[in-house]
């Protein structure tokens, strides 16, 4: 069963003979040789975090029925029972996510990003943050999928990670922080947003707090906390500001301090 297609591959929901269900990604045939594929598998296999979709295995081979030399390569990941965040926010047939779950998703994603950018060896630079690659397990715990590696990552997989949080700006992670800010706005509004969306511009206005309640997803009704809403909007504002100078660790600590205690 095909779940989605993208420039980087096709995602299937697969059931194996032992009954196991998995999320299988077929890589595009333009992917480079076997050595590169194995390096990628090796690096993905090193990633262990509660908020990342875990790699379970891989496979490659030639489809002899097609009488072709094209090598098909597959990555096998944990199945996510509740699909993507995008489905929950934008599918009218889905039960809307409550406020507490949305808050926790923001914290979960920030925790995954901190791990990928600052605690991996090598650091993972190719991350795209959107509601389509934030997956939800059976308990609505958020997990990032579709993590990638740069050429330098693959060529220097054994080099030690010397990145520190203070290197954030120099490492060019502003785009990642911006994407996280847009994701937070999407969690709040329930709208599918882009970089130039009017909501992104609205949160930069000096009087944004006066109209913040009008921007909350109608599916939430009045079932949200105003102080928590303002805290999330401050994060979104800092992340989407031109030339943002806030780091992922700073975002995570702020959310944990302002929001997480009320969830626990």
For the chain, which residues make up each domain, given as ranges?
1-79, 81-263
Q: So what's the architecture of 1-79 in CATH? A: 2-Layer Sandwich (3.30)
Q: Please give the pLDDT value at position 158.
A: 46
Task: For residue 122, say if its preceding peptide bond is cis, omega within 30 degrees of 0.
Answer: yes
User: What pTM was computed for the model?
Assistant: 0.85
Given this model, what pLDDT does residue 86 score?
93
Per residue, the 3-state secondary structure of 71-97, as one string, reads EEEEEEEECCCCCEHHHHHHCCCCCCC
- Token output for 206: 């000096």
Strands of the 21-27 sheet, one edge to the other? 2-6, 9-15, 21-27, 71-78, 55-62
Interval 117-127: pLDDT, tens: 888 877 776 78
Task: Summarize pLDDT for 2-25 with one digit per residue, the tens.
Answer: 777 766 678 888 898 898 899 999
Q: Look up the CATH number of domain 81-263.
A: 1.10.510.10
The proportion of the chain whose per-residue pLDDT surpasses 70, expressed as a percent, equals 82
Q: Which two tokens stand for residue 12?
A: 């299937």
């Amino acid at each position: 069963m095909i779940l989605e297609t993208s420039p980087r591959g096709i995602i299937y929901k697969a059931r194996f003979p032992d009954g196991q269900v998995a999320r299988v990604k077929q890589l595009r045939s333009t992917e480079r040789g076997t050595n590169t594929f194995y390096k990628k598998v090796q690096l993905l296999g090193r990633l262990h975090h509660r908020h990342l979709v875990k790699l379970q295995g891989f496979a490659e081979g030639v489809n002899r029925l097609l009488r072709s030399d094209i090598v098909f390569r597959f990555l096998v990941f944990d199945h996510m029972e509740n699909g993507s965040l995008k489905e929950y926010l934008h599918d009218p047939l889905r039960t809307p996510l409550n406020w507490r779950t949305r808050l926790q998703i923001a914290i979960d994603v920030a925790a995954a990003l901190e791990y990928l950018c600052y605690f991996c060896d090598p650091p993972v630079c190719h991350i795209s943050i959107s509601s389509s690659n934030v997956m939800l397990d059976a308990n609505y715990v958020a997990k990032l999928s579709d993590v990638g590696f740069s050429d330098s990552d693959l060529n220097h997989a054994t080099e030690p990670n010397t990145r520190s949080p203070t290197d954030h700006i120099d490492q060019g992670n502003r785009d990642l922080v911006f994407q996280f800010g847009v994701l937070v706005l999407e969690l709040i509004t329930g709208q599918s947003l882009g970089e130039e969306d009017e909501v992104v511009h609205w949160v930069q206005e000096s009087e944004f707090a006066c109209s913040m309640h009008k921007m909350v997803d109608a599916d939430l009704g009045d079932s949200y906390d105003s102080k928590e809403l303002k805290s999330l909007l401050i994060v979104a504002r800092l992340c989407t500001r031109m030339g943002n100078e806030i780091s992922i660790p700073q975002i995570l600590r702020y959310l944990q301090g302002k929001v997480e205690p009320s969830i626990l």
